[in-house]
Amino acid sequence: MSDIKPSVMDSDLTRQSAATLATAIARGEVTSEQVTAAHLDRIEQVDPIIHAFLHVDREQSLAKARAVDTAIAAGEISSPLAGVPIALKDLLATRGIPTTCGSRILEGWKPPYNATIVEKLEAAGVVFLGKTNMDEFAMGSSTEHSGYGPTRNPWDRERIPGGSGGGSAAAVASFETPLAIGTDTGGSIRQPAAVTGTVGVKPTYGGVSRYGIVALASSLDQAGPCARDVMDTALLHSVIAGYDPRDSTSINAPVPDVISAAKSADVRGMKIGVIKQLQGEGFQVGVLERFTQALDTLSALGAEIVEISCEHFQYALGAYYLILPSEASSNLARFDGMRFGIREGDNGQNSVEQVMSATRERGFGAEVKRRIMLGTYALSSGYYDAYYGQAQKIRTLITRDFEQAFASVDVLVSPTAPTTAFKIGEKLDNPLAMYLNDIATIPVNLAGNCAMSLPIGLAPEDGLPVGLQIIAPAMADDRLYRVGSALEAALVDQWGGLLIQEVPAL
């Protein structure tokens, strides 16, 4: 194995996969400190352009990397990602490290505790590079709704990197980090993955602990892995997943074996359903073209492709935009300037009600306020049944659509997003157009299933990445990796490498 040593050290460490880096670190060919330093250098170099990070503390990260190096040398850590750096979406509570959720209302707040997945990552010897930019409180599909300015797509800096986890996806796509954590309430991991040519997985609801992840919509939120290839995604998935008694909605069952599935790369005999309702109208031509090609590839690999109708998906967006704002309006009530975060308007005369209202008015951005208003309305007495109540019933119907589909197929597929990355500012004043971005990803959150977005090429008309969404039943996350690894292997063969290698130099 001595031939690897010069190859890794000689190469740009930031271009390596997490798996390669972890192996090299474990073998002592390179230290976590060196790997971490290389990524911090890269961040210093390109982040002024990309703006994927809201917070980086170089000395803290390097100190942590050195501690991990010592622990690895002492044989104290055995994890498939020991020593590998990661970026965390700024929605994760990190003790003593600023956590803003992309909102001005939390400016300067340092949580006094860690999210469960932060603890899991620390225990696995993963080193934190920093916190990534996002749409404020994860409300958005473009990262333009961040209180700290937009993140840019490394494929085209005039375009959005998707959202809400645009910072995490852009950081991975611009080689600032091999791994990132995202959260996905209606597509916030998958849609950014699709438009940045990276891989992202929304695990089964309850598969990864939500404790310490600032809630947007509690019944939809799920954290998950972002990486550049399927194997790295699986490794990260395996580290963060698992039962957590602090999250009552967490599933007390063994984590599906996603690593073996990612190694299998075999779809022979699998039945893949194409969702009839998630193609055609509203979908960009080039997106559909790549999608059809990917289906052909899967078919050539030995999978059977069939069309599946999910009748109630047409109501998913409506149900989602009632459930999400309703839950969010309540989840965000605690941001009132009394116990943490900023406080506005406290002149010693104003009442607590006035100070709360001023803090929320000035601390929240337009999209957050819009959704709080919408949710407050939907939960109001007299409207509950027509809005929130009806939306919860639609949710049942969508879940039934999935159940029916999975009775005859192993996985479902669709394009992840209807279009490639759009221009910054293009949809900012049109919330409805913005919401349509999540049309294909939302049904999965409503039903609690798992799904992956995988790059399947560039759209011919604009040369921008297109993602394929693979959907599996709850707690069958391994199927995503089985299909994903097979398709990725075939595409790498075709292209001579991962699609992300094509990203323009910064």
Partner 1 sequence: MSTLDREQVMHLGRLARLELSEEEVVHYTEQLDQILGAIASISEVAAESIPPTSHPIPMTNVFRDDIPIAGLDRNEVAAGAPAWEDNRFLVPRILDDPA
Partner 2 sequence: MTTTDYDHVLVEFDPIIGLETHIELGTQTKMFCGCSAEFGAEPNTHVCPVCLGLPGSMPAVNRAAVESTIRMGLALNCSIAPWSRFARKNYFYPDMPKNYQISQYDEPLCSDGYLDVTVMTPEGPQVFRVDIERVHMEEDTGKLTHAGGAGRIHGATHSLVDYNRAGVPLIEVVTKPVVGTGVLAPDVAKAYVAELRDLMRGLGVSDVRMEEGSLRCDVNVSLSRPGEEWGTRTETKNVNSLRSVERAVRSEMIRQAERLREGERIIQETRHFNEETSSTTSGRSKEQAEDYRYFPEPDLIPVAPSEDWIAELRATLPEIPSVRRARLQQAWGISDFDMASVVNAGALDLIEQTVNSGVDEQAARKWWMGEFSRIARDRGCELEELAVGPAQISEVESLIASGELTDKLARTVFEAVIAGEGTVAEIISERGLKVVSDDSLLIAAIDQALAEQPDVAEKITAGKIQAAGAIVGAVMKATQGQADAAKVRALLLTQLGVSE
Q: Name beta bridge partners: 226.
A: 180, 200
- 122-154 burial, b for 16+ CB within 10 Å, e for fewer? bebbbbbbbbbbbbbbbbbbbbbbbbbebbbbb
Q: Shortest approach of partner 1 to residue 468 CB, angstroms?
A: 23
Known catalytic residue at 485: no
> Considering the rule CB under 8 A, would residue 282 count as an interface residue with partner 1?
no
CA–CA dist 132, 231 (Å, integer): 22
Residue closer to partner 1, measured from CB, 27 or 362? 362
Let me know: does 363 contact 104? Beta carbons within 8 Å. yes
Q: Shortest approach of partner 1 to residue 105 CB, angstroms?
A: 11
> Considering the rule CB under 8 A, would residue 203 count as an interface residue with partner 1?
no
Q: Shortest approach of partner 2 to residue 387 CB, angstroms?
A: 11
Task: Please provide the DSSP assignment of 14-31 as one string.
Answer: GGS-HHHHHHHHHTTSS-
Residue closer to partner 1, measured from CB, 27 or 246? 246
Q: Pick one of 53, 128, 175, 205: the residue that binds partner 1 (CB under 8 A).
A: 205
Q: Pick one of 21, 56, 86, 93: the residue that binds partner 2 (CB under 8 A).
A: 93
* Interface positions, 256-315, toward partner 2 (CB under 8 A): none
> Considering the rule CB under 8 A, would residue 204 count as an interface residue with partner 2?
no
One-letter amino acid at 345 equals G
Q: Shortest approach of partner 1 to residue 230 CB, angstroms?
A: 25
Question: With CB under 8 A, what is the number of residues at the site for partner 2?
Answer: 45
* Interface positions, 299-318, toward partner 1 (CB under 8 A): 312, 314-315, 317-318
* Inter-residue long-range contacts of 341-348, CB under 8 Å, 24+ positions, other chains counted: 341/105, 341/106, 341/107, 341/108, 341/109, 342/104, 342/105, 342/106, 342/107, 342/108
Name the residue with tokens 């997003």. 417
Q: Which does 399 bind (CB under 5 to 8 A by kind): partner 2, partner 1, none?
A: partner 1
Q: Pick one of 67, 266, 340, 502: the residue that binds partner 1 (CB under 8 A).
A: 340
Q: Which does 148 bind (CB under 5 to 8 A by kind): partner 2, partner 1, none?
A: none
Instruction: Spot the catalytic one: 141, 188, 453, 485.
Output: 188
Let me know: does 440 contact 417? Beta carbons within 8 Å. yes
Known catalytic residue at 89: yes
Q: Name beta bridge partners: 192.
A: none
Let me know: does 14 contact 176? Beta carbons within 8 Å. yes
* Interface positions, 237-256, toward partner 1 (CB under 8 A): 245, 248-249, 251-252
3-class secondary structure, 467 = strand
Side by side, the strands of the sheet bearing 450-458 are 53-56, 127-132, 85-89, 179-183, 223-227, 199-202, 450-458, 465-472, 411-415, 271-275, 304-308
Q: Pick one of 329, 419, 441, 485: the residue that binds partner 1 (CB under 8 A).
A: 329
Q: Annotated active-site positions, please?
A: 89, 164, 188
Interface with partner 2 (CB under 8 A): 91-93, 99, 101, 106, 111-113, 115, 210-215, 217-219, 245-249, 326-327, 329-330, 333-336, 338-340, 348, 352-353, 356, 376, 379-381, 384, 388
